[in-house]
Structure 1
Amino acid sequence: MSLTRRTLLSAAAASSVAAFTPFKRAQAATPVRLLLSWFAQAEVGGFYQALAKGFYAQEGLDVHIDMGGPQVNTMQILAAGRADFVTGYDFQTLRGIQGGMPLLTVMSSFQHDLQGLMTHDNITDLAQLRNHPILISSPAHASYWGWLCKKFGYIPAQAKPYTFNLQPFFLDPEMAVQAYASSEPYEAQQRNVPVKFFPFADLGYPPYGTPVLTTHEFADKNDATTQAFVRASLLGWQDYMRDPEPGNALIRKANPRMTEGQIMFGHSAMAKANVVEGGDTKTLRRVVS
Structure 2
Amino acid sequence: MKATLWPRALTAGIFAILLAAPAMAQDKAQPDKLDKVSFGTNWVAEAEHGGFFQAVADGTYRKYGLDVTIVPGGPNENNRMLLIAGKIDFFMAANTLMSFDAVANKVPVVSVASIFQKDPQVFLSHPEAKITRLEELKPLTLFVSKEGITSYFQWLKSEYGFSEKNVRPYTFNAQPFIASPQSAMQGYVTSEPFAVEKAAGFKPGVLLLANYGWNTYSTQIETRQDVIENKPDLVQRFVDASIIGWYHYIYGDNSAGNAMIKKLNPEMTDELLAYSVAKMKEYGIVDSGDSIKNGIGAMTDERVTSFFGKMVKAGVVKSDLDYRKSYTLRFVNKAVGVELRPGSR
Q: Which range moves more in the overlay, 152-161 or 78-87?
A: 152-161
Instruction: Please state if 1:128 is matched with 2:136.
Output: yes
1:14-60: per-residue Cα shift (whole Å, max 9, x none)?
Answer: xxxxxxxxxx9864222222111122111111001000011111222
1:236 Cα deviation (Å)? 0.2
Q: Does 1:75 align with 2:80?
A: yes
- Equivalent pair of 2:281/2:287 in contact (CA under 8 Å): no
Partner of 1:99: 105
Over 3 Å counting, the alpha-carbon distance change for 1:160 and 1:66 in structure 2 is farther
- How many residues are aligned here? 266
Aligned counterpart for 2:188 among listed residues 180, 183, 188: 180
CA–CA distance in structure 1, aligned partners of residues 180 and 76 of structure 2 = 26
Whole-angstrom CA distance in 2 between matches of 1:71 and 1:118: 28
- Corresponding position of 2:279: 269
Deviates more, 1:185-194 or 1:25-34: 25-34
Q: What pairs with 1:171-210 in structure 2 (closer than 5 Å)?
A: 171-190=179-198, 191-210=200-219
Aligned to 2:66: 61
| TM-score, length basis structure 1 | 0.83
Q: Distance in 1 between matches of 2:150 and 2:228?
A: 25
Contact (CA 8 Å) 1:95, 1:142: kept in 2 or not?
no
Matches within 5 A, 1:83-232: 83-88=88-93, 89-121=95-127, 122=129, 123-130=131-138, 132-190=140-198, 191-232=200-241
What is the identity, as a one-letter code, of the residue corresponding to 2:113?
A: M
Between Structure 1 and Structure 2, the one with more helix by share is: 1
Instruction: Summarize the Cα distance change of 1:77–1:136 in structure 2 as closer, same or farther, 3 Å threshold.
Output: farther
Structure having greater relative contact order (Cα 8 Å, sep ≥ 6): 1
Distance of aligned partners of 1:33 and 1:162 in 2 relative to their CA distance in 1, 3 Å threshold: farther
For 2:64 and 2:293, the matched residues in 1 are separated by 28
After superposition, the C-alpha distances for 1:222-262 in whole angstroms (9 at most, x for unaligned) are 22221111111000000111221111111111110011110
SS of residue paired to 1:201? helix
Aligned residues: percent identity?
33
Deviation at 1:99, TM superposition (A): 2.0
What is the identity, as a one-letter code, of the residue corresponding to 1:120? H
Contact persistence 1:91–1:142 (CA under 8 A): no
Counterparts in 2 of 1:158 and 1:74: CA distance versus 1, 3 Å: farther
Task: Classify 1:79/1:157 alpha carbon distance in 2 versus 1 (closer, same or farther; 3 Å).
Answer: farther
